[in-house]
Structure 1
């Protein structure tokens, strides 16, 4: 079996020292860090619903620039524009990452044999990043397009999307995939670029973060489902007491 059988053509170019390979690595790492940090902020923003509808409402108004509005209500266009920017970053990240994706069945089989023979933890982490990346290729754009076409956010409107529009099905699949992919990705970037030599400690931190982020994500999702279940159609946007 030759190297060409095991690796995609783009990887062969990288081995040969193609100048684009180094640039693509830097772009992949930079966009990965950006998306990973965004995920950390995003999940904590969403989890503010655990503190109540008022807390989530106030967070939304702050993020959407409510302090610049005479009424104190944020501008949904901010969410739309930010979602478009995130989509562009996701597309760029996926474009440079796909060059390392096994494109043939034989390459997947070779990877599985390699993992079975060599019990290397980083190889297993890379495999799961490939699997979750494949899942996100289909699920992430759906979520982002939803936020672009319907940027209205609020306790009632978000609960309507999750419960009445059955978006919880998408989020239930998206949540573990994006968390696992992001945390493994940040771990691999830190190791790749020499930010730390303590791989064992960093792997433990990544596992803790995966459990933590999935936990707050699940609790948040359940909260939206419970809230949506108690709302009847048509849904009226949440208005805080005293407004």
Structure 2
């Protein structure tokens, strides 16, 4: 039997309408859809009625389907001749384990293609009114994971504190207090603007913004929890000027088929 193909598709930061045209068309032609917990239900519903559906979503503290099983699922579906869409939040290659899945497919000689998505590290912050760069405030940015593979050395936040520009931290909420403390100990001024964005780009988006030394208290007072984005840098000061509130926007609408 001829092998099927796997598309690793980025679903974007949360708002369903932020998916790319190509990504949406892939979903609408999928014969098997393997999707994550944070992917919009509206996108999942775009799959054909006879599409095989596999929810492999992970919780912050529990992975009901281990990564090696997800890799094997993609291989097995393709070997049955199916066209498979692996739908992942944000961009597949930005801390989404997409590269690990692509490696598994390459090793199994399964054809695959990557359809990039809007990373929450950029698009999610934009919806919060926080640009990752600005000529007056940050000439660069760094995207950092707060959650490393088990057994790896922890992030050296003291060294990361010395970096210029904007720090965007994904999967770091469970260590928020420690991260803030270590950044300050490493030389970041306690007064450095900082913010946390929860449910970025969605109508339920919530933001807590302040300083590095007060952020933990502000996040607790606002009731923000994981998963959420952490951003540190002077660009946070632009939030009130640049913010546009998703609650005031029309409901996101998935457009009809755009590609033949």
TM-score norm. by structure 2 comes to: 0.23
Which structure has more helix as a fraction of its residues? 1
Higher relative contact order (CA 8 A, sep 6+): 1
Which structure has more strand as a fraction of its residues? 2
